[in-house]
């Protein structure tokens, strides 16, 4: 069993437990459930930089990245830096995140928030909206076409954008459907953890222009972004590059100023 399979197996157990504690009806009655969302896709389409900055404490491939952050302060720092949106990891076991991080970020800023999670159940989509998310991430590697359709259509019905993440041509071809807003290419192979920006470049021509193209992982320089822009990418998800520094918001600000 590779790490991705292990994460999903654990995630399904976690969801079963959550369902027994907090029913969907309770999520739907939360104060944030009825709020109007901010569109991450629209923000990326009108931006000259396209940066989605991530809050990530650790990862299976890198271990501890930054355990000392205050997510509210990071969110404010990212907003002040001029990011298009913020990705908030909510997986506890493998990434050290939580739904509380999403709530704190939501309480701190009025920019689009992406819930980055291993979403495999409709419950998690409702949970995302109830905790302040404007967009969700779906990972093609762990979902069937039918599951992608069900989860993305639910998210759209709740007013959230959908970022679908792929790693190869097979995942991309099975995933293209109208209920997606953004197609993200993860340059990190989730099974081997090897990173190559060539993945984004190779798949770019296969992504229809109807979708906002987002490149994820391994982006650490302005040169990399300028190169990816020539392939039609409008969004760039950056986490580790900012989070490994003492002040992620300041690091994002310097990066974006250089990009401009």
Residues labelled as active-site residues: 54, 56, 116, 165, 186, 216-217
**Rounded CA gap, 165 and 121, in Å?**
16
Q: Compute φ and ψ for 137, nearest 5 degrees.
A: -105, 130
**Rounded CA gap, 118 and 1, in Å?**
17
Q: Return the closest-CA partner of residue 214 out of 193, 231, 196, 192.
A: 231
Query: Could you tell me the two tokens for 40?
Result: 């991450």
Residue 221 neighbours by CB under 8 Å, 6+ apart = none
Q: How far is CA 144 from the centre of its chain?
A: 19
């Amino acid at each position: 069993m590779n790490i991705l399979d292990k994460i999903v197996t654990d995630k399904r157990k976690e969801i079963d437990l959550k369902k027994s504690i907090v029913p969907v009806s309770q999520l739907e009655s939360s104060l944030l459930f009825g709020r109007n969302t901010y569109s991450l896709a629209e923000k990326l389409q009108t931006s000259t930089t396209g940066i989605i900055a991530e809050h990530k404490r650790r990862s299976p491939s890198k271990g501890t990245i930054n355990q000392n952050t205050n997510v509210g302060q990071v969110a404010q720092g990212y907003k002040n830096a001029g990011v298009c949106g913020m990705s908030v990891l909510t997986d506890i076991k493998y990434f050290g995140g939580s739904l509380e991080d999403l709530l704190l970020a939501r309480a701190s800023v009025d920019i689009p928030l992406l819930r980055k999670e291993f979403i495999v159940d409709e419950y998690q989509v409702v949970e995302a909206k109830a905790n302040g998310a404007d967009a969700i991430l779906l990972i093609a590697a762990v979902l069937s076409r039918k599951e992608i359709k069900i989860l993305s259509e639910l998210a759209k019905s709740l007013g959230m954008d959908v970022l679908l993440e792929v790693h190869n041509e097979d995942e991309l071809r099975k995933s293209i459907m109208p209920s997606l807003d953004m197609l993200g290419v993860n340059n990190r192979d989730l099974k081997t953890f090897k990173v190559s920006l060539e993945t984004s470049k190779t798949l770019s021509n296969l992504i229809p222009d109807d979708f906002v193209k987002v490149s994820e992982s391994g982006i650490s320089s302005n040169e990399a972004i300028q190169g990816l822009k020539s392939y039609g990418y409008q969004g760039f998800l950056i986490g580790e590059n900012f989070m490994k520094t003492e002040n992620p918001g300041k690091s994002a600000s310097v990066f974006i100023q250089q990009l401009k």
